């Protein structure tokens, strides 16, 4: 009898194999959870690896040289990802965001994009296909991503000041290389770009206004994200959070602002426009103004585990269904049952004895 070896990394987080209903209902292009929230967005982590060690996401104290990342055999193949995306589309997903880790570390990622870009929503429209990256590899890969069918990119950029940026990424990576990557993405047509800045008090909050000043007039959208308690390794404290209301006031003191309506129901960013027409900004306030009540996002981990909340403590093993011989109808039925039972609202109950839960790390689940 051949001994079967199961990688330890696969057991890092609890994930049950979801049951398949005896008579799965056919997908109808619309699915709601127990709180009436539709399934609209799917975020797919294509790798748990990253070349940065940002202190709020993958601190070196945890993710050191001895940290065991997932083996290649555990990762969903591009074919498996595409199959699952088709199933999610049947239930109403219209937006796909590829994340990580750093997604551009996944070999031949442009092949996956080429497989996803021809897909259409249940209404027959093109998918909204985007990618979030730290920007470090964009100068080399932006054009290939665009040629494969990627529409837009979001770049994480936490400071323009080089010293502050190197301190936050903790691998001494220069900000000039990320800015060059943003320019390459713009030239390739991956626009409008979104620039995400995680704001941490006393670390980079002095960069809020300079960030707006730098990108006004470029057509890029700068978004400021409250420092969140994702996972359990980033040393999160409420005192480190700069509320989005304070961010807006700091910007408004220099650049007059006016509010803009959301692009679609459930959009997480509160949108503002510079009154002189030179740019747009957004704030994401999951700590001070939880948006659980309108959350439409599902997340798929690198190894095919479905998470129905960014702050989840457990997932659902869709890879087991994929590799266990289930047909699309069975997986679709299992997915529908999971979403219909969803009642997550972590941000609304953050203070209610939840701080000791072993939540999923952002580098594993995708931001």
Contact between 347 and 292 under an 8 Å Cβ cutoff? The reply is: yes
Determine the pLDDT at residue 290: 72
| Rounded average pLDDT over 140-166 | 97
Determine the pLDDT at residue 62: 87
User: Which alpha helices (DSSP H) does the chain contain, by range?
Assistant: 78-90, 109-116, 138-148, 162-169, 175-188, 208-215, 244-252, 318-323, 328-340, 362-365
CATH code for position 104:
3.20.20.70
Distance from chain centroid for Cα 334: 23
Determine the pLDDT at residue 352: 46
Whether residue 1 is contained in a domain is answered as: no
Q: Is the pTM of this model over 0.95?
A: no
Determine the pLDDT at residue 229: 67
Across-strand partners of 299? 43, 307
Cα–Cα distance measured from residue 177 to residue 222, given in angstroms and rounded to the nearest whole number? 18
Q: Is the pLDDT of residue 342 over 60?
A: yes
Q: Please report, rounded to a whole number, the percentage of residues in the chain having pLDDT higher than 90.
A: 72
| Rounded average pLDDT over 306-335 | 92
Determine the pLDDT at residue 354: 46
Whether residue 110 is contained in a domain is answered as: yes
Per-residue pLDDT of 48-95, as tens digits, reads 999 999 988 888 988 999 999 999 999 999 999 999 999 999 999 999
| Rounded average pLDDT over 164-184 | 97
Distance from chain centroid for Cα 362: 8
Q: Is the pLDDT of residue 269 over 60?
A: yes
Tokens of 286: 């999951």
Q: Is the pLDDT of residue 277 over 80?
A: yes
| Rounded average pLDDT over 214-241 | 82
Tokens of 263: 């692009």
**Taking the alpha carbons of 346, 350, 353, 358 in that order, is the dihedral positive or negative?**
positive
Average pLDDT over the chain, rounded to an integer: 89
Count of domains observed in the chain? 1
Confidence of residue 12 (pLDDT cuts 50, 70, 90): low
Determine the pLDDT at residue 15: 83
| Rounded average pLDDT over 116-120 | 98
Determine the pLDDT at residue 353: 45
Q: How far is CA 301 from CA 3, 103, 270, 308, 317, in A?
A: 27, 12, 26, 11, 10
Burial of 4 (0-12, 13-18, 19+ CB in 10 A): exposed
Q: Please report, rounded to a whole number, the percentage of residues in the chain having pLDDT higher than 70.
A: 87
3-state secondary structure of 128: strand
The whole domain housing 167 covers 8-365
Q: Are strands 257-260 and 280-284 parallel, antiparallel or unpaired?
A: unpaired
E strands of 168-296, at which residues? Answer: 194-199, 221-226, 257-260, 270-274, 280-284
Confidence of residue 236 (pLDDT cuts 50, 70, 90): low
| Residues contacting 269, CB < 8 A, separation 6+ | 223, 262, 282, 283, 284
Whether residue 36 is contained in a domain is answered as: yes
Q: Is the pLDDT of residue 360 over 80?
A: no
Q: Is the pLDDT of residue 220 over 70?
A: yes
Whether residue 153 is contained in a domain is answered as: yes
Q: Which of 221, 207, 209 is nearest to 175 (CA)?
A: 207
3-state secondary structure of 205: helix
């Amino acid at each position: 009898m051949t001994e079967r070896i199961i990688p330890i990394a696969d057991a890092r987080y609890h994930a049950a194999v979801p049951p398949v209903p005896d008579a799965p209902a056919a997908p109808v292009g619309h699915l709601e959870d127990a709180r009436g929230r539709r399934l609209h967005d799917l975020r797919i982590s294509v790798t748990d690896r990253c070349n940065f060690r940002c202190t709020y996401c993958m601190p070196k104290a945890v993710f050191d040289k001895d940290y065991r990342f997932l083996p290649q055999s555990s990762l969903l193949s591009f074919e498996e990802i595409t199959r699952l995306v088709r199933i999610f589309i049947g239930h109403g997903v219209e937006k796909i965001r590829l994340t990580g880790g750093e997604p551009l570390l996944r070999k031949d990622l442009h092949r996956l994009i080429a497989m996803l870009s021809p897909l259409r929503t249940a209404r027959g429209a093109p998918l909204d296909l985007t990618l979030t990256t730290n920007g470090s590899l964009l100068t080399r890969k932006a054009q290939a991503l665009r040629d494969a069918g990627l529409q837009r990119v979001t770049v994480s950029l936490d400071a323009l000041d080089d010293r502050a940026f190197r301190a936050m990424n903790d691998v001494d990576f220069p900000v000039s290389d990320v800015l060059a990557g943003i320019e390459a993405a713009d030239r390739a047509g991956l626009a409008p770009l979104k620039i995400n800045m995680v704001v941490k008090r006393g670390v980079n909050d002095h960069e809020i206004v300079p960030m707006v000043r730098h990108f006004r007039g470029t057509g890029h959208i700068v978004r400021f994200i409250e420092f969140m308690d994702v996972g359990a390794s980033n040393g999160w404290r409420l005192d480190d959070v700069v509320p989005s209301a304070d961010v807006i006031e700091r910007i408004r003191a220099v650049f007059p602002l006016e509010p803009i309506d959301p692009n679609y129901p459930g959009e997480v960013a509160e949108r503002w426009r510079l009154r002189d027409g030179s740019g747009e900004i957004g704030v994401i306030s999951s700590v001070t103004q939880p948006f659980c009540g309108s959350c439409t996002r599902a997340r798929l981990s690198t190894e095919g585990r479905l998470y129905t909340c960014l702050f989840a403590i457990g997932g659902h093993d869709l890879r087991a269904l994929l590799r266990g011989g289930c047909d699309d109808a069975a997986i679709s039925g299992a997915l529908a049952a999971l979403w219909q039972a969803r009642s997550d609202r972590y941000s609304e109950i953050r203070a209610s004895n939840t701080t000791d839960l072993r939540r999923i790390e952002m580098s594993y689940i995708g931001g």
